[in-house]
Chains A and B, each alone.
Chain A
Amino acid sequence: MQADYDLVIVGAGPAGLTSAIYAARARMKVLLIEKTAPGGQVIITDWIENYPGFPDGISGFDLGEKMKTQAENLGIEIESAQVSSLELSGDQKRIALQDRTISAWSVIVASGASPKRLNIGEEKFIGKGVSFCATCDAPFFRDKTVVAVGGGDTAIKEAVFLTRFADKVYVVHRRDELRAEKIIQERAFANDKIEFVWDSVVTGVEGFFGIERVSIENVKTGEKKALEAAGCFIWIGVIPNTDFLENSGVELDESGFIVADSDMKTSVPGVFAAGDVRTTPLRQVATAVGDGAVAAVAAEHYTESINK
């Protein structure tokens, strides 16, 4: 019996879109499924400066749009849907969506990752001062004081972006040095609107309508204090979007990321992983597109081998 598709790709961020481009050019019958909007985390990134080919940088939204257009020009269909579960035991993989179940010979999981929460009661302030997206929300904090949490690329880059609007940005980081790219660190250290609060973690956010104070604690001295701030931007890493893989048999690491080899093969034959959702030392647009290309070629070879 024929499968509905040669390949179903879950997630239309840079990894999934690249897989789709390669698979379309290999003349595979492909369906690309996206839960929210094509582009993935790229579209919440203000400006991307480390993806080659754009010497002056490019806005995350524009880069995502260009990748999407490139896939669509090849005839790729992007369906706005959410995968609820995968049934992977047979040769034909079955992908359950809300309204129907589809079948495919191979699956690429490129469902990405979402910002990690602090879980200190910030939930009720989301949209009221707590944010994970500077390019969405920074202009609401014009001439105000905000807190940025984290020490990685995203945290420091976005903290610098926040200074375009905010009067003052406290960067609260649990260690005494940053992980961010050196070039981003240099900009942050040179910015006099940024004040670093080292060795500290956020323990709470308080306020009436919106945030008024962010409580922090020094992890070395145990000293507690509150920073007067109207906003709290949280960039402490990501968690993988792998809910729908529960009971699928795909091996995950202890943090829930998909374990895949250098061909992007997962523990289940015919199922591949690409981009931020897999266990990888670096989560960037550049690494996601590389994963996406490798996964598509591996899926093509696999599909050919079982259809011989």
Chain B
Amino acid sequence: MAEKIIEVNDDNFEEEVMRSDKPVMVDFWAPWCGPCKAIAPTVVELEKSFGEKVKFVKVNVDENPITPSKFGIQAIPTLIFFKAGEVSDQITGMVSKEKIEESVKGLI
């Protein structure tokens, strides 16, 4: 099965996230970040459970410096939860699946 986590970049962040009909969880990551790679399977699992109601996207902060600086991100992994274009929740660092799931449920 193809991974349903959409790669979003500086150019289409506005359209894909800020103007999304569905609430969105954005995973800010980079290839050099071990913990980011470590939480990636959790994000895929959550997409399987909640993908119908929540849109899951990721932003590579190496290739897209504008979006992370707009949100003041100085640490990854950072997960930001958007509801109707507004930040409703944010998680920085490696946390348990339960904690992320709680924030995803908060979007619904």
Contacts and interface: CB of A to CB of B under 8 A. Distances in A.
A36 B94 contact: yes
Nearest to B69: A140
B34 A60 contact: yes
A37 B75 contact: no
A126 B93 contact: yes
A126 B30 contact: no
A-B interface, 7 closest residue pairs, ranked by CB to CB distance from nearest: A61-B34, A37-B38, A127-B92, A43-B34, A127-B75, A140-B74, A137-B75
B58 to A, nearest CB: 15
Nearest to A135: B34
B32 A82 contact: no
B92 A37 contact: no
Given A37-B94, A135-B32, A136-B76, 11 more contacts: A37-B35, A61-B38, A81-B97, A81-B98, A127-B78, A128-B75, A136-B36, A140-B74, A210-B72, A210-B74, A231-B74
Interface string A53-69: 00000011100100000
10 contacts: A36-B94, A36-B95, A36-B96, A44-B94, A61-B38, A127-B78, A128-B72, A133-B35, A136-B36, A137-B74
A154 interface: no
Interface residues of A, number: 32
Nearest to B72: A209
A39 interface: yes
Interface string A128-148: 110101011101110000000
Given A80-B96, A135-B33, A36 B72 contact: no
Contact of A82 (B35, B42, B96): B96
Contact of B35 (A44, A139, A209): A44
A98 interface: yes
A150 interface: no
A35 interface: yes
Interface residues of B, number: 26
A38 interface: yes
Contacts of A135: 32-34
Interface in B27-63: 30, 32-39, 41-42, 62
Interface in A267-297: none
Contacts of B77: 136
Contact of B38 (A36, A131, A139, A140): A36
Contacts of B30: 139
Contact of A126 (B34, B36, B76, B92): B92
A36 B38 CA distance: 9
Contacts of B78: 127
Contacts of A210: 72, 74
A119 to B, nearest CB: 18
B73 interface: yes
Contacts of B73: 127, 140
B35 A43 contact: yes
Nearest to B68: A140
B47 to A, nearest CB: 15
Interface in A72-130: 80-82, 98, 126-129
